[in-house]
Amino acid sequence: MNISAVAADNVICSNIGRDILLRGGNAVEAAIATAFCIGIQDPHSAGLGGGHLMTIYNATTKKCHVVDAREVAPLNSTENIFFNRKNASKYGYEAVAVPGELHGFWTEYKNFGGNLEWKTLVEPSIQLLEEGSPTSHILARQLQLHKQQILSNKLLASIFTNPKSGHLFAAGEQINTRNRLADTLRILANSSNPLEIFYKGEIARSISKEFEKNNGRLTFEDFNNYKSIIRSDKDIIYTKLPNGRTICGPPPPSGSAVTQGIINILSKMEFNLTTISGSVDYFHSFIEASKFAYSIRDSLGDIDFVANSLNLSHLLTSQEWAENVRTHPDSYYQEGNAHQALPEDHGTSHISVIDRWGNAVSITTTLNIAFGSFVLSESTGILFNDQMDDFSTKGMPNYWGYPPSPQNYIEPGKRPMSSMSPIIVFKENGKETLAIGASGGSTIISGVASTTFNILKIGMNIKEAIDFPRLHNQFRPNFTMFEERIPEKLKEGLQERGHYFNNLDWLNVVVGVHQAEDGIIYANSDWRKGWESQPAGY
């Protein structure tokens, strides 16, 4: 692409974002329209019942902006509400945190958009719902994986069962059963201030009544109090890299600082991937860098609640810290455990955009795990998150295997820690920009870090970097996951250095847009999400 591009993990949504750009919209507006679509095409991953983090790069000012639309704990939450009740934080009404998706979209539109009318960003998704949205292969697979939970839930079964066949929708079949959601989107699209309706008006009232009826914790007051946050420049996490490059991304509760920490450590190291021994050196160094960066994650939390979280994040991006880590001898490693595994994630989606003016957006949106809490609002058609499981409860690791951290204990109004890492890399001379992020739970951090490093340092193009096999080690639990495509000799070389492995078909889904120094825009949507995962541009 020569002018602009959008990369999402569903080509229908990438095309919607491209069309917004063609109509004169900027990167922020294209990202919002694309994200609305993802909530329709990938309802297991995102939607109005979830939240997101957005990083914005302004090509004129060469400054970054961050909008935190992460969900927050309800006001009546307490630290130990899920003690010895692990499923209660994952499934059902108690698992739901206050959604931030729409609040973030409106904040971003009002502060960084405005080229097009608000309803222009919502209407393509309404049209999809009216005409019927085609079931993607990944959605069809997720419906089958969660068949029992969906069919045992009357509301979910009503929207995900094909009335013609009586079975769950299969790949390619048109879903035209989400009429309540279409009605909700029409109301929001035609409103001069959708936040008044969603967070302070009739929608908030109807949802809060449903939660009260089902012993949930969300109240009208929770909706009324919710605010997305435009983070100040001092809160944004920056890393200065060699060759005039800078990374920017959100502060905690985002995992951006950990992602940048891995890249920071590796940025002054040289690797030769043309030989097995050189590749072993590279992967070994990546695993060790990951351990050091991930080990600090346990000390991070919402910067509005955890006093030292921002300082630790800035430490991860400092040259002094990276140099200290690099002083460890090459043979250094932490012993791992051989028989553990991480769950697969399908409850998150990422979108990257670069527009005709060189502005860039990186946004990761999520319900947490697939289909979130499995709670569907009868009055609005909105499927809700299960973000309460992203908090820590004493004595209980969360879904992703992270051990409990006091910095991430539940508090009313607090945002839970996340691995979401929507980052942007830009060059001071304005000749290069990379917007990149991923889905994949705790493996987001390693996926974004390795792909970014492969582009910036190894010299791969964005497709080569995203296609490249991945490893993951989050230190706790301390073992390395690897994709089966990794050559056996490479795995043997790493085992000789003391690494323990478990394999998966794939670890995470990376999506990115790269404006290279030749001026051409290269975009790629990860094949791991299925053949519908494609970018669009012009």
The two three-digit tokens of residue 410, written as one number: 């539940």
What confidence score (pLDDT) does residue 500 get? 84
Q: Which residue do the tokens 């009404």 mark?
A: 93
Q: Which of 423, 420, 406 is nearest to 367 (CA)?
A: 420
Close Cβ partners of 192 (under 8 Å, ≥ 6 residues apart): none
3-class secondary-structure state, position 421? coil
Total-model pTM: 0.96
What confidence score (pLDDT) does residue 334 get? 45
Close Cβ partners of 403 (under 8 Å, ≥ 6 residues apart): 298, 392, 397, 476
Cα distance between residue 523 and residue 466, in whole Å: 10
pLDDT digits (tens, 9 = 90+) for 11-47: 999 999 999 999 999 999 999 999 999 999 999 999 9
The two three-digit tokens of residue 383, written as one number: 């499927």
The two three-digit tokens of residue 180, written as one number: 């309540």
Contact 445, 436 (CB under 8 A): no
Q: How far apart are the first and last CA of the chain?
A: 5
The two three-digit tokens of residue 490, written as one number: 């490479």
Cα distance between residue 64 and residue 100, in whole Å: 21
Known catalytic residue: 327?
Answer: no
Cα distance between residue 430 and residue 522, in whole Å: 16
Q: Which of 354, 374, 372 is nearest to 363 (CA)?
A: 354
Cα distance between residue 274 and residue 289, in whole Å: 21
Angle between helices 11-22 and 118-131 (to 10 degrees): 140
Angle between helices 179-189 and 118-131 (to 10 degrees): 160
For 130-280, list the strands marked E by DSSP. 133-134, 174-175, 229-231, 237-240, 245-249
Close Cβ partners of 479 (under 8 Å, ≥ 6 residues apart): 336, 337, 338, 340, 473, 500, 501, 502
Cα distance between residue 175 and residue 184, in whole Å: 17
Cα distance between residue 393 and residue 203, in whole Å: 31
What confidence score (pLDDT) does residue 476 get? 80
List binding-site positions for L-glutamate. 70, 366-368, 390, 418-419, 441
Q: What are phi and psi of 43, to 5 degrees?
A: -65, -15
What confidence score (pLDDT) does residue 274 get? 92
Distances (CA, A) of 28 to 100, 178, 249, 448: 17, 27, 15, 21
385: left (phi over 0), alpha (psi -120 to 50) or beta: beta
Q: Where are the domains of the chain?
A: 12-58+75-227+367-408, 233-344+420-520
Selected catalytic residue, list 348, 393, 443, 480 = 348
Q: What is the DSSP string of 444-504?
A: HHHHHHHHHHIIIII---HHHHHHS--EE--SSS--EEEETTS-HHHHHHHHHTT--EEEE
pLDDT digits (tens, 9 = 90+) for 98-128: 999 999 999 999 999 999 999 999 999 999 9
Q: Work out the angle at residue 436's Cα, subtended by the Cα atoms of residues 454 and 532, and round it to the nearest 5 degrees.
A: 100
Q: Which of 167, 198, 254, 225 is nearest to 47 (CA)?
A: 198
Pick among 1.10.238.10, 1.10.760.10, 3.40.50.300, 1.10.246.130: CATH of 233-344+420-520: 1.10.246.130
Long-range CB pairs of 334-337, under 8 A, 24+ apart, other chains included: 334/291, 334/475, 334/478, 335/478, 335/498, 336/473, 336/478, 336/479, 336/480, 336/498, 336/499, 336/500, 337/477, 337/478, 337/479, 337/500
Cα distance between residue 520 and residue 514, in whole Å: 8
Strands across the sheet with 237-240, in order?
A: 237-240, 245-249, 423-427, 433-439, 509-515, 521-525
Beta-strand pair 480-483/501-504: parallel
Letter for the amino acid at 318? S
pLDDT digits (tens, 9 = 90+) for 498-537: 888 887 778 899 999 999 999 999 999 999 999 999 999 9
Angle between helices 118-131 and 101-112 (to 10 degrees): 140
Q: What is the DSSP string of 76-93?
A: T--TTTTTT-GGGGTSSG
pLDDT of the chain along its 538 residues, tens only? 889 999 999 999 999 999 999 999 999 999 999 999 999 999 999 999 999 999 999 999 999 999 999 999 999 999 999 998 989 999 999 999 999 999 999 999 999 999 999 999 999 999 999 999 999 999 999 999 999 999 999 999 999 999 999 999 999 999 999 999 999 999 999 999 999 999 999 999 999 999 999 999 999 999 999 999 999 999 999 999 999 999 999 999 999 999 999 999 999 999 999 999 999 999 999 999 999 999 999 999 999 999 999 999 999 999 999 999 998 755 444 444 433 444 454 589 999 999 999 999 999 999 999 999 999 999 999 999 999 999 999 888 766 666 789 999 999 999 999 999 999 999 988 899 999 999 999 999 999 999 999 999 999 999 999 999 999 999 887 789 989 888 889 999 999 998 888 877 788 999 999 999 999 999 999 999 999 999 999 9
Helices (H) and strands (E) in the chain, counts: 18, 20
